[in-house]
Structures are given as C-alpha cells and as structure tokens.
Amino acid sequence: MSAGSGPRPLAEAASVSKRYGSFAAVDEVSMQVRPGEIVGLLGANGAGKTTLIKLLLGLAVPTSGTATLFGQAPDRATRRRLGYVPQGLGLWEALTVAQNLHFANAAFGAADSHLTPALEAVRDRPVSAIGLGLQRQLAFTIALAHTPELLVLDEPTSGVDPLSRARLWDAVHAEADRGAGILVTTHYMQEAQQCDRLVLMSRGRAVAEGTEKDIIGTTTACEVDTDQWSTAFDALDRAELPVTLAGRQVRLADTPPETVRTALTAAGISAQVHEVPATLEEKMTVIDRATAHS
C-alpha cells in the first residue's frame, strides 16, 4: 500500500526528527502504519528504530516534524487504543505473573484475559523468577488484553527460541487479520519477510521502503563456487572487497563479477563466479555502506 492511499493511518510520522545536541537519532522520517498491515522497521543497532517508536507513541518529543497516533497528538486516550511491548518489556518484576496481568488489565479497563498454559504454570511466581521467553509471552499477552487497534513491538523475539518465535508471529498475523495495525522492529530477516511492508532505517534516516522485493530492487551479489572457500575468502578480504561467508558459501554484495574474478585469479584460485539477486541483509549492508560515505 503506498503512502497516502488506503485507510487512515493509525500512526504517522511526518518529517519527524529527534536531535540530541548536533546528533540526529531520527532525521526527517515520514512513515505510516495503517489498519490490518504489518510494518517492519529494520536497521542496524543505533539506526534510530526505538527513538522513532518513542516519537510515534508520544514517549519522546520531536525536535521538528510531527508524530500522530489515531490522527491526533499522542495522549492518555490514544494510549488506551495501543498495545506496546518495549525492548525492556515494561513488566513489574517484583509482582507475580497473575498480578502483572491483573494490574495492567485494571489500568486499561480490560477484563482479565487468559494466560497461556506455560504462563498459567508460573502464575504465582514473581516475574523476576521466570525466564526471558516467558516474560516476553507475558508482555505480549498484556499488550493484547485490551484488543488494541495498534500493536507496537520493539524486538519482540530477541532471545526467544524458534518455536516460541513462530507462535508469536502466528499471533501477530492473527492480530493483523482482525484489523490491527502492527509496527515491529526486528533483526531477523525471516521475520522481516513476514511483514507486509518494510521501512529500512540507517543513521536516523528512512532510506528505503516497500516490500522485500522493492527494497532489494536490482541489487545483485556474486556467489563464488570453489573447494578452496577459506583461501578464497581470505584473498577477497585482503583485496578489500565486501566478502561474507554463509556456511561455506563465499558471497560479495554489489560487486561486479569481473572484479571478483580478477582478485581470485591474482591469488591463484580457480573458482566459478555467478551473479545472483542480493538478499535483504546484503541490501541493508550496501545501503549502510553508502550512507556511511554520504
């Protein structure tokens, strides 16, 4: 869905910036989240994702530009229509699992929701005494208890095992299917692929937006086929080319095949070099390199 089309945005940033002294943590970012869509916010550590979320939710004040929630400046009323799981989870560590749920539901005026069986088993334990995976499940249950129109998840699956991660994503899709808008940050490319739309941040700026295919565009990578993968990797690295290893597969994003062949020949390595579409992760690295030099 392109900007400016479709239902009214649930959250919207319009040229929003947040500066700390001369440093721009968020730099003139414009983006929206609309009902029923899952928007993935991607970017390296420090790219500005959490700061942008805080601006959208009214937890930080923009230096310039505007951030709106449900078409207005964020306030107590908009807070009730929102489910937010921050990176730090926002739970009361000394209270039990059941007390946390009860407390949050009372604050939102929601009926007591059910705990998952895994959380039910630890309902009377203090949050500080349960594992991180269960803490994340609890924070997620609390965020959903009042059926929010907008769900904001800041790295919801970091440190979570693959099965729980898959379950959480099932729940995210179910929320989008009932019409909630979702804004989620992640470092996992498999999760990014489950989003309807991605916003890629680099050094405070939104540098690309669209589907995975839109963002990768025509960027390619070279795959190097050789039995001497470790020698090839060393030689390409010494030639200061942007070489990476995926298992034993030597790859170079955004590098002409001829450049790779020349470097390998100079090092006396025989190899086949194929040009293939770049992955999303490679495209992100290419964009980060470009913004570092701009």
Ligand X SMILES: Nc1ncnc2c1ncn2[C@@H]1O[C@H](COP(=O)(O)OP(=O)(O)OP(=O)(O)O)[C@@H](O)[C@H]1O
Query: What whole-number distance in Å separates Cα of residue 294 and Cα of residue 285?
Result: 14
Q: How far is the CB of 51 from ligand X (least distance, A)?
A: 3
What's the CA dihedral at 294, 39, 23, 84 to 10 degrees? -170
Q: How far is the CB of 18 from ligand X (least distance, A)?
A: 8
Determine, following the binding rule CB under 6 A, whether residue 45 of this chain makes contact with ligand X.
yes
Both tokens of 189, joined, read 């490319």
DSSP state of 186: -
Of the two residues 160 and 263, which places its CB atom closer to ligand X in the complex? Answer: 160
Q: How far is the CB of 288 from ligand X (least distance, A)?
A: 12
Query: What whole-number distance in Å separates Cα of residue 133 and Cα of residue 119?
Result: 10
Determine, following the binding rule CB under 6 A, whether residue 203 of this chain makes contact with ligand X.
no
Mark the segment that binds ligand X (CB under 6 A) among 39-47, 110-118, 162-170, 243-251.
Answer: 39-47
Query: What whole-number distance in Å separates Cα of residue 58 and Cα of residue 67?
Result: 8
Q: How far is the CB of 106 from ligand X (least distance, A)?
A: 30
Query: What whole-number distance in Å separates Cα of residue 252 and Cα of residue 96?
Result: 50
In this structure, what are the phi and psi dihedrals at residue 188, rounded to the nearest 5 degrees?
Answer: -95, 125
Both tokens of 236, joined, read 């390409």
DSSP state of 56: H
Mark the segment that binds ligand X (CB under 6 A) among 41-49, 97-105, 109-117, 120-128.
Answer: 41-49
Q: Decide if 250 contacts 226 (C-beta within 8 A).
A: yes
- Counting residues that bind ligand X (by CB under 6 A) gives 10
Chain centre to alpha carbon of residue 163: 19
Place of tokens 């470009």: 290
Q: List the one residue from 13, 16, 31, 47 that touches ligand X (CB under 6 A).
A: 47
Q: List the one residue from 9, 48, 83, 148 that touches ligand X (CB under 6 A).
A: 48
Of the two residues 49 and 283, which places its CB atom closer to ligand X in the complex? Answer: 49
Mark the segment that binds ligand X (CB under 6 A) among 44-52, 134-142, 157-165, 190-198.
Answer: 44-52
Mark the segment that binds ligand X (CB under 6 A) among 45-53, 143-151, 174-182, 229-237.
Answer: 45-53
Determine, following the binding rule CB under 6 A, whether residue 159 of this chain makes contact with ligand X.
no
Of the two residues 24 and 232, which places its CB atom closer to ligand X in the complex? Answer: 24
Q: List the one residue from 27, 29, 39, 49 that touches ligand X (CB under 6 A).
A: 49
Number of CB atoms found within 10 A of residue 193's CB = 12
Binding mask 7-36 for ligand X (x = CB under 6 A): -------------x----x-----------
134 Cβ contact partners less than 8 Å away, ≥ 6 residues apart: 97, 118, 119, 122
Determine, following the binding rule CB under 6 A, whether residue 218 of this chain makes contact with ligand X.
no
Both tokens of 69, joined, read 């929630």
Q: List the one residue from 11, 13, 34, 51 that touches ligand X (CB under 6 A).
A: 51
Sheet holding 23-33, edge to edge: 23-33, 11-20, 64-69
Determine, following the binding rule CB under 6 A, whether residue 43 of this chain makes contact with ligand X.
yes
Query: What whole-number distance in Å separates Cα of residue 33 and Cα of residue 39?
Result: 7
Q: How far is the CB of 57 from ligand X (least distance, A)?
A: 13
Residues of this chain that bind ligand X (CB under 6 A): 20, 25, 43, 45-51
